[in-house]
């Protein structure tokens, strides 16, 4: 059974202080998980996790991860600015972008970030924009085809817009070497939200073999292999969570099998995990405010898809706990809906839950990554607050909720809305 990281007593108190809906984060869980990741890869001297900022761009949370040695994986101007603002710079930033505007390369270089090129055409674009290439550069690889674990197709790299082909990455390394680059990295992200301990070791094997080949073919001094994101979390109660220790050991095994014999066992392993770092340690707290009995049974809550887009966008499952009714029989079948004028604004469809009464607090699980951050303003809806549940049980507001003032802010250079009162 999936249990929320807050108790009914706690959530009652917290919702007295902060109006629903809001995202709540679990400091204790975040810290324990970050420490485990470091332990799993402690065998690799240069190991570094670059937290994927897009997953949860909150400076308070990133500062917690920072205590465990994490840097930032950025892919846009504002993500770079956020990292800069919290004092993360230099090689503690990985700039893994695609379809990148030149100004963003310039900003990344200004911060001393490692630039991870998505395409071979960017070698010359970056050289021109910066007046020369940085000493350290990385390239993103896309092997094409489908990515399989045993006979299961995990994802479809051949269909993905990211990365360079095998020929292109070799060519890019040669070009960069000629242009003075001294240290090289290889990056690939081939499958998302993998709930299996085999993904990273398989990906690592492919990238380690590539590293050995590219060193031979181009003479490039390869300093790191970036396994990127993709380690998943068990959104469904019947899923077995990943075992990060087993994943670390699996990568270590192929490291010794492939890199060590080639004399390349000083290569650093980098990761860019987002979901795995924070996903389970956030939840969306919302209240039942309407019930409707038509052809189906509907419970309307005060959150909607702008607070959590994954169910509407991907049909993603998010577990729901009706707080205080954990032991009640799950004998009611509901659609749990938000208020958008979109019929896909449903957090759950035909979900068996305990009887829900108006005012009940619902906890929607696993929203700590790709939750708040995918928010938007459709229907004039406002983004919610983010609250941190501290280790000592106290709470801290780590982002206030938007107000109409924020929603109308982009009209501030016109007088057409000057009479709006908010």
Q: Among 11, 34, 55, 65, indicate the residue that binds ligand PLP (CB under 6 A).
A: 55
> Min. distance of Cβ 361 from ligand PLP in angstroms?
27
- The smaller minimum CB distance to ligand PLP, of residues 311 and 354, is found at 311
Sign of CA dihedral 129, 132, 134, 136: positive
Site string for ligand PLP, 357-396 (x = CB under 6 A): ------------x---------------------------
CA 73 to mean position of chain CA atoms: 10
Tell me if residue 283 is catalytic.
no
Cβ burial of 294 (10 Å; 0-12, 13-18, 19+) is exposed
- DSSP characters over 236-261: STTSPPP-HHHHHHHHHHHIIIIITT
# residues contacting ligand PLP (CB under 6 A):
17
> Min. distance of Cβ 111 from ligand PLP in angstroms?
17
Stretch of residues binding ligand PLP (CB under 6 A), selected from 186-194, 286-294, 327-335, 387-395 = 186-194
Query: 123-150: string of b/e by CB count within 10 Å (b at 16+)?
Result: beebbebbeebbebbbbbbbbeeebebe
Which residues lie below 8 Å from residue 51, measured CB to CB, with a gap of 6+?
Answer: 62, 65, 70, 71, 72, 73, 272, 273, 274, 277
Stretch of residues binding ligand PLP (CB under 6 A), selected from 32-40, 51-59, 141-149, 324-332 = 51-59
> Min. distance of Cβ 294 from ligand PLP in angstroms?
37
Q: Among 23, 54, 66, 346, indicate the residue that binds ligand PLP (CB under 6 A).
A: 54
Tokens representing 294 are 């038509």
CA distance 6 to 14: 10
Q: Could you say which of 70, 74, 283, 341 is catalytic?
A: 341
Check residue 189 for interaction with ligand PLP (CB under 6 A): yes
Distance, first Cα to last Cα, the chain: 44
Give residues 228-287 in contact with ligand PLP (rule: CB under 6 A).
228-230, 272-276
Question: Backbone phi, then psi, for 339, in 5-degree steps?
Answer: -105, 5
Stretch of residues binding ligand PLP (CB under 6 A), selected from 81-89, 185-193, 245-253, 347-355 = 185-193
Check residue 310 for interaction with ligand PLP (CB under 6 A): no
CA distance 243 to 197: 6
> Min. distance of Cβ 57 from ligand PLP in angstroms?
12
Check residue 73 for interaction with ligand PLP (CB under 6 A): yes
- The smaller minimum CB distance to ligand PLP, of residues 18 and 189, is found at 189
List the catalytic residues.
341
Q: Which residues bind ligand PLP (CB under 6 A)?
A: 52, 54-55, 73, 96, 189, 192-193, 228-230, 272-276, 369
């Amino acid at each position: 059974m999936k249990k929320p990281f807050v108790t009914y007593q706690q959530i009652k108190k917290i919702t007295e202080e902060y109006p629903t809906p809001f995202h709540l984060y679990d400091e204790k869980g975040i810290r324990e998980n970050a420490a485990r990741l470091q332990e799993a890869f402690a065998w690799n001297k240069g190991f570094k996790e670059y937290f994927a900022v897009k997953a949860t761009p909150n400076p308070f949370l990133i500062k917690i991860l920072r205590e465990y040695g994490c840097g930032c994986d950025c892919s846009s101007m504002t993500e770079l600015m956020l990292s800069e603002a919290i004092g993360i710079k230099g090689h503690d930033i990985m700039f893994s972008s695609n379809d990148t505007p030149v100004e963003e390369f310039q900003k990344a270089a200004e911060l001393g970030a490692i630039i991870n090129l998505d395409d071979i055409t960017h070698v010359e674009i970056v050289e021109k924009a910066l007046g020369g290439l940085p000493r350290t550069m990385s390239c993103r690889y896309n092997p094409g085809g489908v990515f399989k674990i045993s006979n299961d197709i995990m994802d479809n790299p051949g269909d993905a817009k990211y990365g360079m082909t095998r020929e292109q990455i070799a060519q890019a390394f040669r070009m960069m070497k000629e242009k003075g680059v001294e240290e090289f990295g290889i990056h690939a992200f081939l499958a998302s939200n993998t709930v299996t301990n085999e993904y990273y070791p398989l990906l690592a094997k492919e990238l380690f073999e590539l590293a050995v080949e590219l060193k031979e073919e181009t003479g490039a001094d390869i300093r790191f292999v970036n396994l990127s994101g993709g380690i998943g979390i068990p959104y469904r109660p019947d899923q077995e969570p990943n075992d990060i220790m087993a994943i670390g050991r699996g990568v270590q095994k192929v490291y010794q099998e492939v890199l060590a014999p080639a004399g390349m066992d000083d290569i650093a392993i980098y990761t860019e995990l987002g979901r795995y770092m924070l996903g389970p340690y956030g939840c969306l707290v919302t209240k039942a405010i309407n019930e409707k009995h038509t052809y189906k049974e509907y419970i309307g809550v005060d959150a909607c898809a702008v607070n959590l887009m994954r169910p509407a966008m991907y049909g993603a499952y998010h577990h729901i706990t009706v707080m205080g009714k954990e032991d009640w029989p799950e004998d009611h079948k509901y659609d749990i809906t938000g208020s958008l004028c979109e019929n896909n604004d449903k957090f759950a469809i035909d979900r068996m839950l305990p009887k829900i009464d108006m005012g009940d607090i619902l906890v929607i699980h696993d929203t700590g990554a790709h939750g708040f951050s995918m928010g938007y303003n459709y229907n004039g809806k406002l983004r919610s607050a983010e609250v941190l549940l501290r280790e000592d049980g106290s709470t801290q507001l780590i982002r206030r909720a938007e107000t109409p003032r924020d929603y109308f802010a982009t009209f501030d250079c016109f007088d057409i809305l000057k009479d709006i009162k908010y």
